[in-house]
Structure 1
Amino acid sequence: MSEMVSGERRPRQLHELTDVFGFLEQVRLRPGMWVRSLDELHSMLIGYRVALEVHGIGEDFEFWPAGAFAEWLWVRLGRHSSLGWAAEISREAEATGVSPLNLFFTFVDEFRASNRTRNA
């Protein structure tokens, strides 16, 4: 996660990040610097996963289209979609009047909290 300074998160250098969640926290802090849409973030995450594989890095990656995050989301939303998690979050965001990126980060927080509860 981002380092806390005076109760606020601060941006970190890429070499300081240890996993995909650290990267996502940086995107959350300054989304406009990284992406313009949830679809772009989805594509970036696919690239992240491909880079892990190319470089032989054994990091857990929950954001693959059929990964743990998608499976959790289908239960959370009460439906399954072949369009993928980004499309379904965008649909949900439109229906609720929330930014797709903001809703994604809300779901990521819920997903992580549910995993901590299960693993405790």
Structure 2
Amino acid sequence: MRDVYDFLEDVRLRPGLYAFQSSVLHLQSILLGFNVAVEIHGTAGSTAFDAEGAFREWLRHQINGQYGSLIWGYAIELEAKDRGVPPMDLFFELLDKFRAETLR
């Protein structure tokens, strides 16, 4: 794996392997650990998925700020419940949109 996005593509294929009950909140915890490891080892720098990162800021505008004060994993789980879709599916839908809009 080259970066966090490679890791997330593996999670997309097997979410239950990485996140208990395919929970986006658990996935966020894994990404926090990933970010800490990056900082400790001084490799590629922080990712967009830390607590105050670019993904959270972008997400606030995608779900109308309704859950803006919550950590992003929980906000996605609540939004998925409101939409009646699986939370992990919504996460990857949002991730694809985030990447398309911000990683040009």
TM-score, normalised relative to structure 1: 0.79
Give 2:63's match in structure 1, choosing from 77, 83, 90.
Answer: 77
How big is the shift at 1:33?
1.2
Corresponding residue number in structure 2 for 1:87: 74
**Aligned: 1:64 with 2:33:** no
Residues of 2 paired with 1:29 and 1:19: CA distance?
Answer: 16
Distance in 2 (alpha carbons) for counterparts of 1:48 and 1:112: 18
Which of 9, 16, 22 does residue 32 from structure 1 map onto? 16
CA drift of 1:82 comes to 2.2
Q: TM-score, normalised by structure 2?
A: 0.90
Deviations 1:66-109 (A, max 9, x none): 11001111111121522211111111100011111110010000
Q: Secondary structure at the match of 2:68?
A: coil
Q: How many residues align?
A: 101
The alpha-carbon deviation at position 58 of structure 1 amounts to: 2.5
Residue identity matched to 1:49: N
Which structure has more relative contact order (CA 8 Å, sep 6+)? It is 2
Contact 2:81–2:87 at 8 Å: present in 1 too?
yes
Structure showing greater radius of gyration is 1
Specify every segment of 5 or more residues in structure 2 that has no aligned partner in the other structure, as ranges: none
The whole-number CA distance in structure 2 between the counterparts of 1:89 and 1:61 is 18
Secondary structure at 2:101 match in 1: helix
Unaligned runs of 5+ in 1: 1-16
For residue 60 of structure 1, report the CA deviation from its aligned partner. 4.6
Moved over 2 A (4+): none
Identity %: 44
Corresponding residue for residue 97 of structure 1: 84
Q: Which has the higher strand share?
A: 1
Query: Would the aligned equivalents of 2:60 and 2:68 in 1 still touch at CA under 8 Å?
Result: yes
Q: Secondary structure at the match of 1:62?
A: coil
- Supply the AA of the counterpart residue of 1:68: A
